[in-house]
């Protein structure tokens, strides 16, 4: 029994090192076992004890890892590299699909559980509203990308090694050389979103997640990513059951409001945020006769944006004594515009352009590069009044622009 276990241990190490298909590996192991048996029998006929003969026969073969490389070399053909590339692509696509599916199902289940708990508690007390948009648009997507990159890295090495008939340790470097640039492009320039710093940083580190999968494949459970149809159907069943539970238990509680409502008064709101505007009638007002030239007040993208102001004087002498008239663009936090038009209120002046006055008409165009940290903007017509004080010459014009781009464009925008 002890003599047999020595051969078994050798064959087990050889089996784990052979970069061959199941059929090729079984044939190679059978051939090696037969060779060792013949060599052992020959040495026994020469007078050596059986255990010594088997040990000597195995020693002649050398280390199992070196023998595995020699056996694999006999199966290599010029088309192995092309076959390995095809296998790597197929395995990568499958790993991406299943890892994204598994990740989003886990997120969905956790979200459903939290939503159910929130719904139950909301029946008892009035809970505050929480906006999860920033986390959905950035870190959640980036985290899913990171898990997919890790799954690809750890799933692709062994199939590529088998297709190339080379040990896994020999193909890891090639996998890294081919995969790291692709991971970098995918992480920095693939997905357009309303990124935040956390999400963009996680996405930018996609090559690191891929490298971790190649070099440290055991960091996550063996079932991730799942690539079996039975598991896929189980995940779909979990989603259906979770939605049914949410519909049954998570009906929103009926809430009442005891406060006194009031109508929105834009004049009052503008005076509140721009206290230096103290006159009752502004010298300039929006022009409604040139609608075709007006730009939309909202949009999304990386910019640049060009916004225009078309105004008319409220009277022929409305701007008498005014100087330094220009249009300023002020950016506010994503939570909204609050406070006066100055930096102390958390607002940022991004650009300005001179206001051109011709007769009873006034116009200006200003171009800005939107910022990822700003979403709401004011176009304010500002000048120096006859008393030498800085004043608004018209009610500010409200604009909304949501920055959206790739992580690389996000970092470029932050640098600006």
Report CA dihedral (190, 193, 198, 204) to the nearest 10 degrees.
10
pLDDT beyond 90 at 121? no
Place of tokens 């945020």: 273
Three-state SS at 271: helix
Sign, CA torsion 292/298/303/307: positive
Q: Cα–Cα distance between 253 and 391 in angstroms, integer?
A: 48
**1, pLDDT greater than 50:** no
Q: State the Cα–Cα distance between residues 119 and 398, nearest whole angstrom.
A: 36
- Burial label, 98 (beta-carbon count in 10 A; 0-12, 13-18, 19+): buried
Token pair, residue 383, equals 């000048």
Tell me the C-alpha distance between 215 and 172, whole Å.
8
Outline where DSSP puts E strands in 115-220: none
Q: 277 pLDDT band (50/70/90 cuts)? A: very low
Considering only residues 222 and 44, tell me which one the structure prediction assigns the higher pLDDT.
44
Mean pLDDT along residues 115-125:
78
Cβ atoms within 10 Å, residue 213: 28
Q: Is the pLDDT of residue 214 over 60?
A: yes
Is the pLDDT confidence value at 207 over 80?
yes
Q: Domain spans of the chain?
A: 2-73, 80-249, 266-415
Comparing 25-39, 67-81, 175-189, 257-271, the range with the smallest average pLDDT is 257-271
pLDDT of residue 180: 95
pTM of the model: 0.70
Mean pLDDT of 226-249: 60
pLDDT given for residue 184 in this prediction: 94
Check whether 276 has a pLDDT greater than 50.
Answer: no
Q: Which residue has the higher pLDDT, 63 or 202?
A: 202
Percent of the chain with pLDDT over 90: 13
What pLDDT does residue 264 have?
40
326-356 residue pLDDT tens: 998 888 765 555 455 555 556 778 889 999 9
In the predicted model, is pLDDT for residue 185 greater than 90?
yes
Q: According to the per-residue pLDDT averaged within each range, which of 2-6, 43-47, 175-179, 271-275 is highest?
A: 175-179
Q: How far is 55 from 59, CA to CA, in rounded Å?
A: 6
What H or E segment, with its residue span, contains residue 340?
none
What value does the mean pLDDT of the chain take? 78
What pLDDT is recorded for position 240? 66
Residue 31 is predicted with a pLDDT of 85
Q: Would you call 407 exposed, middle or buried from its count of C-beta atoms within 10 A (0-12, 13-18, 19+)?
A: buried
**What pLDDT is attached to residue 257?**
39
Q: How far is CA 292 from CA 289, 307, 321, in A?
A: 9, 14, 32
Pairing type for strands 374-384 and 390-392 reads antiparallel
Q: If you average pLDDT over residues 370-393, what whole number do you get? A: 85
Q: How many CB atoms lie within 10 A of CB 286?
A: 14
Q: Taking the CB of residue 68, how many other CB atoms lie within 10 A of it?
A: 22
Contact 141, 89 (CB under 8 A): no
Give the C-alpha separation, 109 to 112, whole Å: 5
Examine the pLDDT at 133 and tell me if it is beyond 60: yes
Q: Is the per-residue pLDDT at 28 higher than 90?
A: no
Q: What's residue 94's pLDDT?
A: 86
Separation CA 101–CA 198 (nearest Å): 22
3-state secondary structure 225-254: CCCCHHHHHHHHHHHHHHHHHHHHHCCCCC
Question: How confident is residue 359, by pLDDT bands cut at 50, 70 and 90?
Answer: confident
Tokens 């890295």, located at residue:
153
**Rounded to an integer, what is the distance from CA 65 to the centroid of its chain?**
40
Structure tokens at 141: 């997507």
What fold is seen in the domain 266-415?
A: Immunoglobulin-like (2.60.40)
Answer with the residue of higher pLDDT: 16 or 264. 16
pLDDT, tens digit, for every residue of 308-329? 888 888 888 888 888 999 998 8
Nearest to 246, CA basis, from 116, 366, 346, 52: 116
Grade residue 5 by pLDDT with cuts at 50, 70 and 90.
low
- 202 burial class (0-12, 13-18, 19+ CB within 10 angstroms)? buried
| Burial of 195 from C-beta contacts in 10 A (0-12 / 13-18 / 19+) | buried
Helix H or strand E segment including 358: strand 356-358
Answer yes or no: are the C-beta atoms of 68 and 17 closer than 8 Å.
yes
Q: Say which range, 112-126, 150-164, 246-260, has the weakest mean pLDDT.
A: 246-260
């Amino acid at each position: 029994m002890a003599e047999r276990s020595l051969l078994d241990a050798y064959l087990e190490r050889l089996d784990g090192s052979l970069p061959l298909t199941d059929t090729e590996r079984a044939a190679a192991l059978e051939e090696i076992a037969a060779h060792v048996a013949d060599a052992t029998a020959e040495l026994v006929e020469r007078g050596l004890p059986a255990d010594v003969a088997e040990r000597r026969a195995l020693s002649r073969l050398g280390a199992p890892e070196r023998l595995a490389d020699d056996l694999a070399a006999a199966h290599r053909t010029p088309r192995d590299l092309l076959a390995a590339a095809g296998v790597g692509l197929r395995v990568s696509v499958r790993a991406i699909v299943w890892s994204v599916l598994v990740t989003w199902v886990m997120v969905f289940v956790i979200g459903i559980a939290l939503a159910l708990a929130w719904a139950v508690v909301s029946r008892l007390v009035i809970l505050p509203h929480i906006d999860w948009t920033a986390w959905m648009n950035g870190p959640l997507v980036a985290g899913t990308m990171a898990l997919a990159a890790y799954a690809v890295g750890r799933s692709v090495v062994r199939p590529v090694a088998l297709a190339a008939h080379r040990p896994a340790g020999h193909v890891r470097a090639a996998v890294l050389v081919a995969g790291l640039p692709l991971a970098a492009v995918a992480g920095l320039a693939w997905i357009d979103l309303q990124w935040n710093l956390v999400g963009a940083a996680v996405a930018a580190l996609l090559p690191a997640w891929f490298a971790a999968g190649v070099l440290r494949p055991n960091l996550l459970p063996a079932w991730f990513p799942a690539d079996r149809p039975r598991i896929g159907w189980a995940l779909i069943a979990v989603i259906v059951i979770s939605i049914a539970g949410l519909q049954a238990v998570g009906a929103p509680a009926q809430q009442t409001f005891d406060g006194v409502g009031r109508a929105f008064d834009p004049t009052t709101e503008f005076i509140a945020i721009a206290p230096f505007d103290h006159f009752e009638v502004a010298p300039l007002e929006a022009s409604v006769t040139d609608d075709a030239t007006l730009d939309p007040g909202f949009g999304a993208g990386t910019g640049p944006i060009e916004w225009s102001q078309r105004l008319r004087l409220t009277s022929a002498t409305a701007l008498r004594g005014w100087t330094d008239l220009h249009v300023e663009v002020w950016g506010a936090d994503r939570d909204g515009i609050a406070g006066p038009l100055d930096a102390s209120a958390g607002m940022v002046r991004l650009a300005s352009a001179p206001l051109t006055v011709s007769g009873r008409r006034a116009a200006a165009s200003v171009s800005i590069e939107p910022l990822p940290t700003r979403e709401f903007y004011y176009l304010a017509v500002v000048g120096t009044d006859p008393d030498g004080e800085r004043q608004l010459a018209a009610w500010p014009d409200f604009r909304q622009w949501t920055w959206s781009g790739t992580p690389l464009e996000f970092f470029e925008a932050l640098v600006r």
